[in-house]
Structure 1
C-alpha cells in the first residue's frame, strides 16, 4: 500500500521530476537571446550620445586679425600644476595671462609671478559667491582682451591649441567649451575612467544637434568679451557649484550658442595628482550635481549603459564562480558563453571611448569592474553629500549647496 502523501516504494519521497533537457535548453536559449538584445541596445548608447564627438581643430592657421586674447586662470593651491600651464602659454599669442590667487595656502602666487603672469588676489568671496566664480569674475574684470580664455590650472595647451580654439569660435560663436584629454599616470588615477566617460555621454553635447539642456566643461572656456557680458558673465552663476553648466544656460538664455569639444592632443589636463583622497574629493564635488543638471534623455541613456556594465560584471563573475566551484547554478542567468562575449564586447567598446577621453591603461577597460566599483562608491558618497547633506568640501573650503542658485534665478 502506498502511504498517504504519495510516498514511493519503501516509504521514501517521490523522485524529483526534472524538466526535459530540450525544455531547459529552450528556456536558456530564450534567456540568452533577451540578454543579447538588451546588451546590444545598451552598446548602441555611445554610438548615439558620442556620434559627434568633435575635437579642437589641429593645425589651424595662426590668427592675424588683431584679436587680443586674455587668459584667466582661477587658482587655489595649484603650485604643483600651474607651472605646466604657464610654460605652455609662454609662446602663444596671448595679450596677457592673469592668475587669480583664490586664497591659496601654498606658493601659487609666487609660482605665477615668477612665470611672468599678472597675479591678482581674489580675497574672500562675497556672500552668495563660490570661490571659483568670484575668481573668474575678478580676472575677467581686469582683462583687457576682446576674447577671454578661462583655463583651469591643471590644463596644458599645445602650440597650435589657441589657433584651433579661435577657429572653433569663429565657426560657431558664443561659448566654446573643451573637455581636455585626461593624462592619467599613476594606478589610482585610472579610477577616473567611468567619470570621464559618463561626463561626456550624459552631457548630451555630442549627439549631433543642440542638446535640450546646454552643457559646458569648466577646464577650458573661450568667449568674446561682448558675448560674455551679454550672458551676464560669472556674476550670473555666482552661487553655482557647477558654474560651467550654469554659464552654458546663461548663454543659451541670451540666445548665444554653446559648442563643446574634446581636447585630443591640443588641450590636456592631469586632474588629481595629489593622491586618491584628492580624486575622491574632486569627483564627489561634481558627479552627483552634474548628473542632476544633465538632460533627461542623455542621462537615462547613460544610466542604461552603466547598468549594462553592472549586469555583465555580475553575470560573468557569478558564471565563473559556478564553473570553478560547481555551485551557484541557481544564481546565474544566461550561459557563461554569452556573458564572456558580452564582457569582451563592452570592454572593447570602453577601450575605444577611453582612447578619446584620456591616456588610460589597458587594464582599466579589460578589468572594467574595478573602475566601475570606484564610480559606484564615489557616486553614492557624492549623492549623500549633495542631495542629503547639501554640503561638500573642496580644497579645504566648504561649499553649501543649500544656497546654490541657477543663472535664471540670479540673472
Structure 2
C-alpha cells in the first residue's frame, strides 16, 4: 500500500470516528407540553462580579419572555462597577454578598448565598453573560427532564478575534453533552441541590460544574445537558484577546483531567485527523481531500454551537494551533494562577 492510500485511509477512518462528536452536538431531550407551569416555581440566581455591562442584556431578555419566573436574584460579588445598581434598575432583586470565606471560590460562594435566599422549588444558576432568545426560557423549562440539567449557550461571535474560541467551545460542549453539566446555565430542583451538598460541596473547585455533577451523581441525582441553539445564547470574552486567553487558560488542564477517558480518546482522534489533513499534504496532494472533508465537518459542528464564520472552518489550522498553544500554556505556571475579574485565581 502506497503512502497515498495510507494517508487517505487513515484520514477517512478518523473522519468517520469523528462523526460521534457531531452527533453529540445535537439538541437533546423531549419537550413537555409547556414549560410555563414551572415558571411559578422557578428562582433564577445570577452570580455577578463586575457584570454591569452584561446584566442589561440578560435581565431585559428575561423581562421580554412571555411569562416571568417567581424571582430573579442577582448576587453582587463585591463588584466595583455598579453591578448592583444596574441589576436593580432592570428589575432584579439584589443580594449583597458576604465577604468571601477562606477556601471558597467567588462564583460558588455567590451561588450558595443565592440558593439560601431563593424561594423557588426549582433553581436556575445563570451566568451574567448569557441571555434568552424569544421564548427561550419556557423552551428550556419544557425540555427539563428532572434532576440536574444544564444548557450550553449558543455562541454569538461579534469580533474577528472571538473566532479563536471555536475549538475551545466545541470541545467543551462535546465533552459535556448529554450526560455532564456545564456552568453557564444549571437547572435543578432544590431538594436535589441539597442532596448533592450544593455549592458548598465544591466550594474550592475552579470547575465547580464538573465537580458538582460528580457529587450529584454520587447522591443518586441524574445529570444531563443539551445544546442551546434557539433558546439561550452568550458572548464569551468580549473585552479583547487577553481576556479570552486568560479565560480559557483558567482551569484548562483541570478540565482535561476531569473529562472521561473515552471522550478524551474521541477528541484526540478528531484532532489527529485535523492535523493529518493539514500535514498529509506534504506526503501527497490527495490529502487535500482529507483537509476539505474535515473543514466541512467542522463547519457543520460549529453551526450547531454558534455563528462562527465558514472561514474559521476552512482555515481551521489557525484556531486549532491557538487552542493547542493555550492548552500547553495552561499546563505550566500560567495555568496555575490567573488574574480574573480583579481576583487572583489559583487553579492548582
| Distance in 2 of aligned mates of 1:243 and 1:65 | 25
Moved more, 158-167 or 292-301: 158-167
1:44 counterpart SS class: helix
Aligned: 1:400 with 2:343: no
1:349 is matched with which residue: 297, 302, 310?
297
Aligned partners of 2:43 and 2:120 also within 8 Å: yes
Aligned partners of 1:184 and 1:190 also within 8 Å: yes
Counterparts in 2 of 1:125-140, with a 5 A limit? 125-140=100-115
Aligned partners of 1:46 and 1:201 also within 8 Å: no
1:261 counterpart SS class: strand
1:51 counterpart SS class: helix
Aligned partners of 1:184 and 1:359 also within 8 Å: yes
Counterparts in 2 of 1:288-327, with a 5 A limit? 288-316=253-281
Unaligned runs of 5+ residues in structure 2 are: none
Aligned: 1:117 with 2:92: yes
2:74 counterpart SS class: strand
1:66 deviates by 7.2
Go from structure 1 to structure 2 and tell me whether the alpha carbon gap of 1:66 and 1:120 turns closer, same or farther (over 3 Å shift).
closer
| Distance in 2 of aligned mates of 1:312 and 1:66 | 49
1:398 counterpart SS class: strand
| Distance in 1 of aligned mates of 2:294 and 2:62 | 39
Larger radius of gyration: 1
1:381 maps to 329
Unaligned runs of 5+ residues in structure 1 are: 1-28, 317-331, 403-411
1:53 deviates by 3.4
Aligned partners of 1:72 and 1:148 also within 8 Å: yes
Aligned partners of 1:74 and 1:101 also within 8 Å: yes
| Distance in 1 of aligned mates of 2:7 and 2:327 | 26
Counterparts in 2 of 1:142-181, with a 5 A limit? 142-169=117-144, 172-181=145-154
List per-residue Cα deviations over 1:14-44 (Å, max 9, x = no partner).
xxxxxxxxxxxxxxx5212221222222212
1:281 maps to 246
Aligned: 1:78 with 2:44: no
2:303 counterpart SS class: helix
List per-residue Cα deviations over 1:188-229 (Å, max 9, x = no partner).
0000011111112233x34xxx5xxxx211001001111111
| Distance in 2 of aligned mates of 1:84 and 1:347 | 33
2:3 maps to 31
1:272 maps to 237
Counterparts in 2 of 1:163-312, with a 5 A limit? 163-169=138-144, 172-203=145-176, 205-206=177-178, 215-312=180-277
Aligned partners of 1:288 and 1:386 also within 8 Å: no
| Distance in 1 of aligned mates of 2:220 and 2:32 | 30
Equivalences, count: 345
TM-score by length of 2: 0.93
